[in-house]
Amino acid sequence: MLKKIGLLVCHNQYESKRYFTQKFAEALQRAGIETVILSWPHGPVPDSILEQIKLLNPDLTCSFNQPGPLPDGRYFWDLTEIPHWTIIVDPVFYERDLIRSPYTILSTVDYQDFNFIHSMNFENVFFWPHAVEKELHEEKEKIFEVVFIGTCYDPEILLQTWRQRYPKEISEIIEDAVERVLSDHKTSFLQALLLALAFHGKSPKDVNFEQLAHYVDQYSRGLDRLQLIRSIQDVPVTVFGGKCWREEQPIQDWSHYLASQSNVTLYPAVNYADSLEILKRSKICLNSVPFFKSGTHERIFAGLACGAFVVTNDTLYMRESFSAEEGVLLYQFSKLGDLNEQMRYYVSHPQERVSAVQKGREKVMQYHTWDSRVKQMLEEIPIILQRIEKNSDQIEGK
């Protein structure tokens, strides 16, 4: 039985993970689990936090951030020998080095990501989607017709970067993979790249696979959300967001792409807590996540909880989980031309929209709160802890 958990958190863009940490901690405490939040500004886990962990001596530590490795390649939990659960809310491909440690526990928000890690002979992983706090609710007048809250990934500069860096045959592979990601509801950016490589007679070993995967992921993100916003012409759209962080410079922001679109109003990025207040005042929320074909995103659940009708990618998971009658309209990249008329319809039919959102909100409150996730965690984590303890005893026995 879990009795004590140490939650670790430091700064991330928009402070979303700090917010998740706090709400998850509150749900854990309601379940009778002692919870201590250990926080520092940024960077690697400092020695002072390690000392607090040793004094606390929890059953496990966990974090929504991926703590960086030590200079020798180990992680801080290899020193404490206390299992650490990394709650991954981004594509797991970028975090796969974590499986090196025998004390690592992972969860993913996407079933395909779960299968990817499991296929690497790593057992201590489970599917654990995003969530919202049960007290989140609508309480504001709706002053925004349609909102988009998110980062600009500047697809044009990225396209120029790989075309300058690589020969034509490699650029064609990247662009083929992007087209595959955006053309259906089930192909992840990793699957798309593998398929594109095979189609062009190449092996992953023939290329810098990680760099190409980065390009496919980042460009498909950037193009999908840009075309999503551009597709709406007759309804006011309010965009809150800055530009992304990446090595490829320069990086353009939303004003570069959207300033001339007369129905779009641009505002700077907001932190996660403020984004919830915006959702409470919004009729419709746009959400673009082509990198999760079998998983979740917090804005889907938060949008419904805040009383906003959600427009998001057509994916395997969302097809099974929600419908337009439950406040979630699924769009296909190839059919974005239909979205303008759909947005006009839902804005001008408030009773239908509000009724659908209420049904979706009820589903969120039943299945997708932090309290629901705690119940699931209590089914998964103890089994994994037993496995880690058993493996540790076997290693010591040798």
Residues 194 and 81 in one domain: no
Give mean pLDDT, residues 218-243: 98
For residue 137, tell me if it sits in a domain.
no
Query: Residue 397: its pLDDT value, please?
Result: 54
Structure tokens at 270: 């907001």
For residue 72, name the pLDDT band (cuts at 50, 70, 90). confident
Task: Report angle CA 296, 25, 58 to the nearest 5 degrees.
Answer: 115
Q: Do 328 and 393 have their domain in common?
A: no
How high is the pLDDT of residue 395? 60
Q: Given its phi and psi angles, is residue 32 left (phi above 0), alpha (psi -120 to 50 degrees) or beta?
A: left
pLDDT in tens, 283-328: 999 999 999 999 999 999 999 999 999 999 999 999 999 999 999 9
Measured distance CA(312)–CA(297) in Å, rounded = 10
pLDDT value, residue 396: 61
Peptide bond into 58 cis (omega under 30): no
What confidence tier does 19 reach under pLDDT thresholds 50, 70, 90?
A: very high
DSSP 161: H
**Could you tell me the residue range of the domain that residue 157 belongs to?**
144-367
Average pLDDT over residues 214-235: 98
Domain assignment of residue 138, yes or no: no
Compute the distance between CA of residue 258 and CA of residue 154 in angstroms, rounded to an integer. 12
Q: What average pLDDT does this structure show over 258-277? A: 97
Q: What is the largest CA-CA distance in the chain?
A: 70
Q: What is the mean pLDDT of residues 268-287?
A: 97
Residue 134, pLDDT score: 96
Under the banding of pLDDT at 50, 70 and 90, the label for residue 71 is: confident
Per-residue pLDDT of 138-163, as tens digits, reads 878 999 999 999 999 999 999 999 99
Quickly tell me which residue has 């064609």 as its tokens.
172
Q: Is the per-residue pLDDT at 214 higher than 90?
A: yes
**Planar angle of CA 317, 322, 326, nearest 5 degrees:** 170
**Whether residue 263 is found in the same domain as residue 320:** yes
95: in domain:
yes
CATH number where 314 lies: 3.40.50.2000
Total domains in the chain come to 2
pTM comes to 0.96
The band of 25, judged by pLDDT with boundaries at 50, 70 and 90, is: very high
Banded pLDDT at 355 (limits 50, 70, 90): very high
Residues 267 and 385 in one domain: no
Instruction: Say yes or no: 107 and 221 in one domain.
Output: no
Co-location of 110 and 162 in the same domain: no
31-65: pLDDT as tens digits: 999 999 999 988 888 899 999 999 999 999 999 97
Percent of the chain, pLDDT > 70? 99
Q: Whole-number mean pLDDT of the chain?
A: 96
- Burial level of 341, CB count in 10 A (0-12/13-18/19+)? exposed
Residues 228 and 347 in one domain: yes
Alpha helices (H) along 40-167: 47-56, 76-80, 111-118, 155-165
Q: Give domain status of residue 139, yes or no.
A: no
Cα 145 to chain center, whole Å? 25
H or E segment to which residue 61 belongs:
strand 60-63
Instruction: Determine the Cα–Cα distance for residues 141 and 157; give it in Å rounded to an integer.
Output: 39
Is the domain of 69 the same as that of 162? no
Whether 187 is covered by a domain: the verdict is yes
Query: 171 and 43: one domain?
Result: no
pLDDT tops 80 at residue 133? yes
Examine the domain organization and report whether 383 and 298 are in the same domain: no
Report the distance separating Cα 98 and Cα 105, nearest Å.
9
149 and 100 share a domain? no
Q: Do 233 and 296 belong together in one domain?
A: yes
In a domain, 103, yes or no: yes
